[in-house]
Homo-oligomer: A and B are copies of this chain.
Amino acid sequence: MERRLPAADEAGGRRTKRGKVELRRIEDRTSRQVRFSKRRSGMFKKAYELSVLCDAEIALVVFSPAGRLYEFASSTSSIDKIFGRYWDLMHTTIDLNIEARDYRVDCNIQLRQKEHSVLDDPVPKINHITQCVLESNVNELNIAELRGLEEAMTNALTVVKNKLMMKVAGVLPQSEKKSCWISEPDQE
């Protein structure tokens, strides 16, 4: 495994130069597949190392040009969970008594979501889905799909109404206001 000096005959320039590559799509299918495989491994390793060394939460989703899926999530989480955190951060209006900053602050970090899945706080997602539905995508569904959707939504709505009634009636406890936790002003 030790280094050798460059072979003397390399000066002749006959061998293709190793190493450096242009940053553009590799046209040759075989080369592209090989490179994809190797670089994919490398990147997943990097992701793993970063997550361990720096205690970062990482979700990595890769689709090969052939459509195959490769995924990574830092050990303490899942793709769904991390993407859910991302989703919340991007789609939830944050109403804090704290001045806005020039970077995004994740207010969900301390929300103790251990047992929760990506869709645990359904409000922003439902709102978004509602918007999608209100727009045009349902046009793409066939009758069977629409029936399924109708049924699912009806059931869900019934549950929501029941919960609401119970809360209003005082049967269920009011949920306390979510608290927000701002991390130390680290510079990264």
A58: shortest Cβ distance to chain B, in Å?
A: 5
Q: Interface residues of A: mostly helix, strand, loop or mixed?
A: helix
A26 to B85 Cα, complex, angstroms:
24
Say whether B68 contacts A106, CB under 8 Å. yes
Say whether B64 contacts A56, CB under 8 Å. yes
- CB-CB under 8 A from A46, the residues of chain B are 39, 42-43, 46
Say whether A26 contacts B39, CB under 8 Å. no
A164 CB-CB contact with B under 8 Å: yes
- How many copies are assembled? 2
- CB-CB under 8 A from A172, the residues of chain B are 139
The contact size tier of chain A is 35 or more
A21 CB-CB contact with B under 8 Å: yes
Known contacts A35-B54, A39-B53, A129-B125, A150 near B160 by CB under 8 Å: yes
- CB-CB under 8 A from A52, the residues of chain B are 23-25
A184 CB-CB contact with B under 8 Å: yes
